[in-house]
Structure 1
Amino acid sequence: MNLNCMGQFPEYRPRRLRQFPALRRMISETRLSADQLVLPLFARAGRKLRKPINAMPGVFQLSLDELLREATQAFEAGVPAVLLFGIPEKKDAKASGAYASNGIVQQAVRLLKKELPELLIITDVCLCEYMAHGHCGIVHHSKNRTRILNDPTLKLLARSAASHAEAGADIIAPSDMMDGRIQAIRTELDRLGFDETPIMSYAAKFASAFYGPFREAAESAPQFGDRRSYQMDAGNTNEALREVALDIQEGADMVMVKPALAYLDILHRVKTEFGYPTAAYAVSGEYSMIKAAAANGWVDEKAVTLESLLAMRRAGADIIITYSATDAARWLREK
């Protein structure tokens, strides 16, 4: 910005352009639209089941009939897409529920594509919800060390992604943070004829304290240790850019920064430096903090939610994944 071309007070008065609502809307630099929102949903077996998530007011684990109802309400409010997570009935050391043809996510995809064909279906590809130990990869225990095995995990991730595509998923979203997973998934999808199925990579996913409520929702807390050997250190910016570059080279069509609000600087750099379609995940901790503050009367939930989502847009997000998607779409329509 060339500040030398600007006038000075009293000739230049920025408030002249803030006097009227219509004028403020006309010159608004950043706009938030329901078209940019994605609603995460948690599917589990059962019927007429809406199991509340204590740490996330208004969010539920949903049986398929209730999931369809929730997705329909979101779509009718103007939300064009959902992101599906699954809670299996049984977990094991091979995450077999993640790639089972009749797995809970696969069932949810088929139901939604049948009943809401215009709704965009994104599926999260990870193993943590399906592993008995809660980690995102195959675990190897030795006498002195426990490791998450990278390369053997890639085969299971690729198999899971393929099963989602076969069920009818529109977009595959790997969130595991194993090295090389985008290449493995892209290769498998192409081999099976799903070369037109795009990949939205959780490219810069940080080991964040903001994920706490999600782990209750997805029943995915690790049973030992933590995820810092595969998710990124919160202080690293350049590493995030390298991760994004690698995923793009391996075939990612869209990239994601997670979490969003505490990582707006990363989001801005990713969008500026790569120019790829970029998603921001407004994670569970961000959602729950606003809900808790609003419940205590400390903030206006609607105003704070929309302002935080607008900040993500301003930083460079083309797509925003948020648990407030349905409410936000309705608020935007009213506005």
Structure 2
Amino acid sequence: MTPTHRGAGLLLALCASFFATGGFAQTAPSSLGGPTPNLAGSIERPIRYRPEGGDFVIENGAETFNRPLYGGDTAFRVDGGDRPEFVLYLPGRGGNLRLGVAGPSGALWLHAAQWIVTRYRPGELIHEIRDPLLGKGVLRIEALAYAVTEGLTLRIEGSELPPGLELIWAFGGITGQRGVRDGDIGTEKIPISEWFQFRSAFAETNRVLADTEGFQVSAPQAVIVGASSAPARFAKGDAAKWDDIGRLPASAASDQGGVAIGRAMLESNAPLIVSLQRVDPNAAGDLADYTAVSAGRAGGPVAPIIRPPAFARDALAARFEEARRLSRWCPRTASGRSSRRPRSI
């Protein structure tokens, strides 16, 4: 038999086997590890958040960057979560903000505190924090996105705090990275809580300037200025020491490739406002997928945005109250309109 005849015979044998075993029959997706039926025994899961008044409340939740805060009618947002850690989204990665405390008993990043109660309400996140480092004290952090511009405003106040306690905050990592669907939950190859974490490489294109009034972090995609309502010390830190609160505040860095650091004393019943404000005119276009969908429709290049200059230190408290007032009636913040969806309640 020639090689051609042998090949033809093998093909006929394979075809016969295919039809004899029902080769055209569909295989159940579940047998391949795919979709499974929504049966009562397979969909039950604990309720993580509880409703309390107009809030969703959780104690010692583990999620980060799953709760968006919106301000004005732009695509900018701030992503917070169960833990007091934040990331700005321009759209595109606009920098991470970490908060910590240091005192005679040691130092601690607040997202690692022993007890955190988080309240999520329309346009606002509230964290109540307890930890042995705070003694009998409680630290309360209220977070809002600015409504009249793009940025984040925090009101930080404690009660029964130990003496000599200092607030430390670090900011940096502006890259403009967009992700698959602008950081939408469930669309990246890793969880959003990991995808939005800071990496020292994100600071490579950032230029950090610091003086007695605040700091400025500049990147090709955005310029963010930081300030506080009370006297504070501002400096540049080593991005590689981001996770080490014991070493980061005392680290040194050049203007290029570092992160910005702020330090201010905390006293009981004395509110402190921490502000991050975008001041550049840049505007981001749509993702490639969105552009393809809208191809052929009328439109033009994205126009620059006129943003207000940096707010004065003595205006930060009033600007916080303004953001809170506007968040309570603005349809965008009240509805939480977004493609982002919170995880299970």
**TM-score normalised by the chain length of structure 2:** 0.23
More helix by share: 1
**TM-score normalised by the chain length of structure 1:** 0.24
More strand by share: 2
